[in-house]
Amino acid sequence: MSTLSTTAPVTDTAARPGRRHRLDDWRPEDPEFWRTTGARIARRNLWVSILAEHVGFSVWSLWSVTVLFLGPEYGIDPAGKFLLTAVPAALGATLRLPYTLAVARFGGRNWTIVSALLLLVPAVPMAVLLEPGVSYATLMVLACLTGVGGGNFASSMANINLFFPERLKGKALGLNAGGGNLGVPAVQLVGLAVLATAGAAHPRLVPAVYLPLIVLAALAAARWLDNVPAARNEPGALREAAREPHTWVMSLLYIGTFGSFIGFGFAFGQVLQIEFADRFATPVDAAWLTFLGPLVGSLIRPVGGHLADRYGGARVTFWNFAAMAGGAALVLYAARERSLALYLTGFLALFVTSGIGNGSTYKMIPAIFRARVAAEVAGGRLDPADAERRARRLTGALIGIAGAVGASGGVLVNIAFRQSFLTWRSADAAYLAFIGCYAVCLLMTWLVYLRPGSRRLAGV
């Protein structure tokens, strides 16, 4: 396996005639080049990438809305609906690694066009087939196919990483990730609009709204994105990162943060309607609340990165997991006391803290390898240039692995809710499982990155 790198040499010529959208000469670290040429091109690629990723996230999240339309006439119980929101998360997580590698293999512009058009694969049949009488097996296939939108995040981040100098990558990647994450509340607002205007009898209208947006994203990518030929997949980087214990520690922490965000984003509307059925007699009654959590979680993500810059990623992540456990405990208490106000407060706290945790854990990853190679340089085992290349190489690989593993948390959240309702007729057991998960993540953060001792990594 391999990971994306820009260490391959580039030519000193401008884009060749007849090769539009190909950046043969791309030097973002050159200040003069960046000022006169690079910044304008990079910003253009960033905004189009945000659009394409945003639409991808919306398609990935379609079933968080669709299940609210599936009334008694569809004959699906709550356990069956939770499976429908679990399978998109599973496919999305699986596709993240190959989508990351596809950028260097096919070109960022080319792959963005292809990955955008692949969103039509679930959206078109959903717009045709969603009506009473459709089989549950068909719904499962359609739900699974929306997972292609989950892979778009990985390829979009890998592509934008190529365009910006190191000093600006944090901000650019934060904007790209936040704009993509906003696709979750956006599709829920579309669902709310359909419910409020056409009613619950027309679920096919939600994916139909996205058909022109998918085509627009593909056309925008074809018109304004560029390929960077210098990008290449470094052989062995993912294999080397997979042998690194920090890769799996950070993957666990990312399950707790991003996995919670995407899992709760998929499940929140359904859980709210089940837990407070007396307050939400129709889907539209619940839908107007469901977008709030993913919205604040998306908008707050850059704050996690800022706090990590100021106080240290591990310290912010540690206290954030404590807050997540507290939010889950408040949700459990509110569910038992039948307090809707406390319930909403607890869930909003979970979305806010999962967003902060997304930012802080991402900031930890490069800091880990900078600390590791700094120690090797100090010990005379690596020269500084080789150390920097190795840190970047392993950072890119770890981000790819952690992104894929972390997205699987969305599956675990929905399966936890399903099993809890099946076995105990309530979500209480799921909330207890979440508290336990956050406690484990908190303990792991302290043991590996905060515990005093000679082996503690500086600056993480």
Four-CA torsion 432, 418, 206, 345, nearest 10 degrees: -20
User: Above 50 in pLDDT, residue 9?
Assistant: no
Opening angle at CA 111, ends 59 and 102, nearest 5 = 105
Tell me what the mean pLDDT of segment 221-250 comes to.
86
Q: Which of 8-12, 178-182, 400-404, 414-418 has the lowest mean pLDDT?
A: 8-12
Nearest to 68 by CA among 180, 211, 193: 193
**Alpha helices (H) along 236-312:** 237-242, 245-254, 260-275, 283-290, 292-311
DSSP 377-414: HHTTSS-HHHHHHHHHHHHHHHHHHHHHHHHTHHHHHH
Model confidence at 115, pLDDT cuts 50, 70, 90, reads very high
Whether the pLDDT of residue 437 is over 90: the answer is yes
Tell me how far apart the alpha carbons of residues 26 and 12 are, in angstroms, rounded to a whole number.
Answer: 9
Domains in the chain and their CATH numbers?
Answer: 39-233 (1.20.1250.20), 235-459 (1.20.1250.20)
Q: What is the mean pLDDT of residues 426-444?
A: 96
Q: Looking at residues 151-177, what average pLDDT do you find?
A: 85
Copy the structure tokens of residue 304.
């996690």
Q: Which pLDDT tens digit goes with each residue over 179-200? A: 898 999 999 999 989 988 888 8
Contact call for residues 450 and 336 (beta carbons, < 8 A): no
pLDDT, tens only, 248-276: 999 999 999 999 999 999 999 889 988 89
- 88 pLDDT more than 50: yes
**Secondary element (H or E) of residue 235:** strand 232-235
Q: What is the pLDDT of residue 5?
A: 58
Q: How do residues 124-148 score in pLDDT, each as one tens digit?
A: 999 999 999 999 999 999 999 999 9
Residue whose entry in the numeric block shows the structure tokens 């929306």: 146
Average pLDDT over residues 156-168: 85
Residue with the bigger pLDDT between 453 and 51: it is 51
Please compute the mean of the pLDDT values over residues 202-221 and round it to a whole number: 96
SS3 label, residue 14: coil
CA distances from 432 to 34, 57, 352, 436, 443 (A): 51, 28, 19, 6, 17
**Confidence (pLDDT) at 309:** 83
The chain-wide mean pLDDT, for the chain, equals 88
